[in-house]
Chain A
Amino acid sequence: ELKVEQNPLFLSMQEGKNYTIYCNYSTTSDRLYWYRQDPGKSLESLFVLLSNGAVKQEGRLMASLDTKARLSTLHITAAVHDLSATYFCAVVPYSGGGADGLTFGKGTHLIIQP
């Protein structure tokens, strides 16, 4: 059974600081997604990482994927209050062409304080 672990689950940080959220998964996969969710809202797609070594950046967020270590990171640079949200990573297990749906981590609740 695929397990996806995020850490930390809760993060309070100050504006202007840098931090990294980690996403570990337990089985072979080369397809990983990052989502953002604001309170009471749906999921907003941030990044889709489809190969080992993939790195994507959008504004102050940068995501990377290391399939050998089964690890993805979401790095926040010079955080601003608007980035306060819950961030989820999700993995599709490798099934030789099939697809088993996304398995999500528990989410990282991020609060950025002025």
Chain B
Amino acid sequence: KAGVTQTPRYLIKTRGQQVTLSCSPISGHRSVSWYQQTPGQGLQFLFEYFSETQRNKGNFPGRFSGRQFSNSRSEMNVSTLELGDSALYLCASSLYPVGSYEQYFGPGTRLTVT
């Protein structure tokens, strides 16, 4: 069974630009969550999507947005990039919404903002 895939794996952008990251969950999984990992703030929850609906969102500015498609693939968009957005962005998939089900993490997208 294929795991969670994320593209691209590495990305370098300039301040002010925008970026879109993609996540394909494990086949059959309908929930996708996104997390940001930085040395200073650790792992922080961004948002979760289930059946194309955003179920919850973490404490991040509106520059961070996402969506989920009917095939459960998800994209995350960050507009007007700031240096502080440099991080490892992880997505995780699970059968159903976070809570009682195991979450499987993808390899991550490492974003560097210069």
> Could you list which residues of chain A lie within 8 angstroms of chain B, going by C-beta atoms?
31, 33, 35, 41-45, 48, 50, 88, 90, 92, 98-107
Contacts and interface: CB of A to CB of B under 8 A. Distances in A.
- The 4 A-B pairs of least Cβ separation, nearest first, read A101-B45, A104-B43, A99-B99, A43-B105
Contact of A99 (B42, B43, B56, B107): B56
Contacts of A92: 98-99
Given A99-B99, A102-B103, A42 B108 contact: yes
A45 B99 contact: no
Given A42-B90, A43-B90, A100 B45 contact: yes
Q: How large is the interface on B (under 10, 10 to 19, 20 to 34, 35 or more residues)?
A: 20 to 34
B45 A103 contact: yes
A interface, over-half SS: loop
Q: Which of A44, A98, A99, A100 has the most CB of B within 10 A?
A: A99
28 contacts: A31-B99, A42-B106, A42-B107, A42-B108, A43-B90, A43-B105, A45-B102, A45-B104, A45-B105, A48-B101, A48-B102, A50-B100, A92-B99, A98-B99, A99-B55, A99-B56, A99-B97, A99-B98, A99-B99, A101-B47, A101-B48, A101-B56, A101-B98, A102-B43, A102-B45, A102-B98, A107-B42, A107-B43
